[in-house]
């Protein structure tokens, strides 16, 4: 018996053409970059002092904002997925807003909040805290843009998992906190890991909000994407090498965070 590959049932054959164009559209720039990376100097380019400083800062700030995202985002996702109160739809839209907002606008909004003369900035200043243009500002900017990714992704997982097991746990005498710890979280763990990695990736790539709200001070606020942008003018080879580094990180993220089936 011979096997032929046929499109899935009901799919017109011509859709393959634009689909292939789409794949090329995404793949070609990556190939172009890979071709032009000065591979012999790659190692020395990504281990230059400024690159290492930026990479270190990026990993620390993205790590910190990921922790904040998990601490604040998991409870928010639980509320959105499990509460039946009215007005949650509105709340959800509000939470997703940073996902669709131009990052520069996010940066401006954060300046209006935490910057000099901002809503909270003045009070913070009275306490001797200056947030804008500090490493803390980088973490705030990254958290602001990454939080919705974690919340929305985890909320979907929680909804898919349903509440049947929590009900059983309750009839077995488990308090809501026990059920959360021993049933809900373990059941959605794969989804939680994906959501966390997604938030980390978004934080790591943050550029617009960071440069607006935190500036670009080497070792303090200049993360890897900012360093790439800066090097583009000074040393294009370094910019390409660092970009390749970020692509590799992104690939690792996709492998770790690819959608998985939730245990049922």
Residues at the site binding another protein, with contacts judged by CB under 8 A: 164-165, 167-176, 178-179, 182-183, 186-187, 189, 263-264
Nearer to another protein, 40 or 173 (CB): 173
Q: Which is nearer to another protein, 168 or 193 (CB)?
A: 168
Give the nearer residue to another protein in terms of CB position, either 187 or 224: 187
- C-beta closer to another protein: residue 28 or 172: 172
Query: From the CB of 84, what's the least distance to another protein, in Å?
Result: 13
Q: What residues have CB less than 8 Å from 177, skipping those under 6 apart?
A: none
Cβ of residue 170: shortest distance to another protein, in angstroms? 4
Nearer to another protein, 158 or 230 (CB): 158
Do residues 106 and 141 make contact, with C-beta atoms less than 8 angstroms apart?
Answer: yes
Shortest distance in whole angstroms from residue 184 CB to another protein = 11
126 CA to centre of own chain: 33
Kindly state the smallest distance separating residue 159's Cβ from another protein, in Å: 17
- Contacts of 257 by beta carbon, 8 Å cutoff, 6+ apart: 193, 194, 195, 197, 198, 201
Q: In sequence order, which ranges of the chain are alpha helices (DSSP H)?
A: 16-36, 39-46, 49-82, 88-100, 103-114, 121-126, 135-161, 164-171, 176-179, 185-204, 208-213, 224-234, 236-257
Mapped onto helix, strand or coil, the DSSP state of residue 126 is helix
Q: What are phi and psi of 117, to 5 degrees?
A: 75, 5
Compute the least distance from the CB of residue 175 to another protein, in Å. 5
């Amino acid at each position: 018996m011979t096997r032929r590959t046929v499109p899935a049932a009901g799919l017109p054959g011509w859709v393959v053409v634009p689909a292939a164009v789409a794949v090329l559209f995404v793949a070609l720039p990556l190939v172009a970059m890979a071709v032009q990376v000065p591979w012999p100097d790659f190692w020395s380019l990504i281990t230059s002092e400024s690159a290492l400083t930026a990479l270190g800062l990026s990993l620390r700030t993205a790590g910190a904002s990921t922790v904040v995202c998990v601490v604040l985002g998991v409870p928010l996702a639980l509320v959105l997925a499990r509460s039946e109160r009215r007005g949650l739809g509105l709340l959800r839209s509000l939470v997703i807003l940073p996902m669709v907002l131009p990052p520069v606008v996010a940066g401006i909004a954060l300046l209006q909040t935490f910057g000099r003369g901002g809503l909270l900035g003045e009070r913070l200043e009275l306490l001797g805290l200056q947030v804008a243009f500090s490493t803390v500002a980088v973490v705030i900017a990254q958290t602001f843009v990454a939080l919705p990714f974690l919340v929305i992704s985890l909320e979907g997982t929680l909804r898919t998992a349903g509440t049947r097991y929590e009900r059983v746990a309750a009839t077995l005498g488990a308090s809501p906190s026990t059920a959360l710890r021993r049933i809900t979280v373990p059941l959605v763990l794969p989804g939680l890991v994906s959501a966390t990695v997604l938030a980390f990736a978004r934080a790591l790539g943050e550029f617009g909000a960071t440069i607006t709200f935190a500036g670009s001070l080497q070792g303090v606020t200049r993360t890897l994407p900012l360093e790439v942008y800066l090097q583009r003018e000074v040393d294009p080879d370094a910019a390409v090498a660092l970009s390749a580094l970020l692509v590799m990180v992104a690939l690792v993220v996709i492998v770790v965070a690819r959608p998985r089936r939730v245990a049922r």
